[in-house]
Amino acid sequence: DADVTQTPRNRITKTGKRIMLECSQTKGHDRMYWYRQDPGLGLRLIYYSFDVKDINKGEISDGYSVSRQAQAKFSLSLESAIPNQTALYFCATSDWGTDQPQHFGDGTRLSIL
Amino acid sequence: SQQGEEDPQALSIQEGENATMNCSYKTSINNLQWYRQNSGRGLVHLILIRSNEREKHSGRLRVTLDTSKKSSSLLITASRAADTASYFCATDHGGATNKLIFGTGTLLAVQP
């Protein structure tokens, strides 16, 4: 979905480095989400945010932090990267209300050596 | 974990055939959604079925929901090579969060 942009698309880094993944959206949605995808495990929720002042932990938040800088921007940080955080990371947005679909960016492929 | 299960994990069919994939979940839902993921891309929403609905259609897609069995199926009719992708179900278990729990996915290969 071109309305949800993730940068970078690919990143290779070393253990112990601090990494920030960025997400911006032009859909005007208040709700934003970060997921990680591992082979055979589907998507798992890391953090989600319903507005600029709202941050919530998801299923697997340990080792990650987020910042909601504006309605349109939601970044994910790995303070000290470790190899088992190697994965595909997705940002998504959704509108308010029930029965809302989520709209995904094209992902960031992160490799930690 | 509440993560849903999908089967089969992989499915290979010929163009023109129908493809059926199934999803099971563990706790009551508000709605169930199906998404498609092409290789190297993000997920794209296909269809949403509410807990009080039993069947829904969208083009060549047909989704059924059986809340008594906590299961759903996605049928793609007259498949095309362009349908080759991974398909995920995702369940919304209610509340104000709109959080989704994703299944493990079915990899569909449509041979031309």
- One DSSP character per residue, B7-58 reads E-SEEEEETTS-EEEEEE-SS--SEEEEEEE-TTS-EEEEEEEETT-SEEEE
* pLDDT for the residue A41: 78
* Residue B50 CB-density burial (10 A; 0-12 exposed, 13-18 middle, 19+ buried): middle
Asked if A107's CB is within 8 angstroms of B41's CB, the reply is yes
Give B53's pLDDT tier (boundaries 50, 70, 90).
very high
Rounded to whole angstroms, the Cα distance separating B80 from B83 reads: 5
Please list every residue in chain A whose beta carbon sits closer than 8 Å to the beta carbon of residue B41. Answer: 106-107
B55 vs B40, which has greater pLDDT? B55
* pLDDT for the residue B21: 97
Give, in degrees to the nearest 5, the angle at Cα A96 between B74 and A87. 60
- The nearest CA of chain B is from the CA of A11 a distance in Å of 14
Asked if A42's CB is within 8 angstroms of B3's CB, the reply is yes
Can you read off the two tokens belonging to residue A107? 């992902």
Question: Which residue's entry shows tokens 């190899």?
Answer: A83
Asked if A44's CB is within 8 angstroms of B100's CB, the reply is no
pLDDT at B48 over 90: yes
Q: Which of A24, A9, A50 is nearest to B98 (CA)?
A: A50
Rounded to whole angstroms, the Cα distance separating A91 from A103 reads: 8
Rounded to whole angstroms, the Cα distance separating A20 from A95 reads: 25
Rounded to whole angstroms, the Cα distance separating B18 from B14 reads: 9
Give B96's pLDDT tier (boundaries 50, 70, 90).
low
In which residue ranges of chain A is pLDDT below 50? Answer: none
